[in-house]
A = this chain, B = another copy of it.
């Protein structure tokens, strides 16, 4: 059955590419419902319409597939963290709140993958490396931001090392977002969570940690 052929670049119209995507899509769907450990290669393969052994033509293991999904999420994280790095003239409260909300949104979108990747870091070294790369991105961005605000005299000075502080704060976020992404999404609850985290960030990093917006009142 031949119809109007896609003229020029029919490059990479590979059939296997389709199957590979289906595999990843189905895996992520399953992952949304239950932990990776409880999902068999069988299930993923069947869901994608191929036999279990065919699965191994595409991925070396369940973990390899997870890593492929993780790489996708990695890219989303990059852009998210990049944006966070962009200095701006807005008041800190808003920048931080927006960054946190963005981040929570990312976790809502890719939560299953991010959680699974995080959970596997102990049993699969490759996943661990990928996770570290992702986490590092955030810590770096945060530490840089803190240093910048310190230089500008807006943030509490050095004693707590910027990197360590950044690690603690992003660790808190990770934990909170991991959990939140498991609960059903509620705009109300999400806003509260972001607000709580923002409070911690602002009070910890900035001077006169008054969460009350702008114009510092006389002390």
Q: Which residues of A contact B (CB under 8 A)?
A: 35, 37-38, 119, 122-123, 156-157, 159-161, 164-165, 167-169, 171-172, 174-176, 179, 192-193, 195-197, 199-200, 203-204, 209, 211, 213, 216, 219
Interface hub of A203, A209, A216 (most chain B Cβ within 10 A):
A203
Contact of A172 among B156, B160, B175, B219 (CB under 8 A): B175
Chain B residues, Cβ within 8 Å of A156: 203
Can you name 21 A-B residue pairings with CB atoms under 8 Å?
A35-B123, A38-B123, A119-B122, A159-B199, A159-B213, A159-B216, A160-B199, A161-B192, A165-B200, A167-B176, A168-B172, A168-B175, A168-B197, A168-B200, A169-B172, A171-B172, A171-B175, A172-B175, A174-B175, A203-B203, A203-B209
B122 touching A160, Cβ below 8 Å: no
A161 touching B196, Cβ below 8 Å: yes
A165 touching B122, Cβ below 8 Å: no
CA distance A122 to B169 in the complex (A): 24
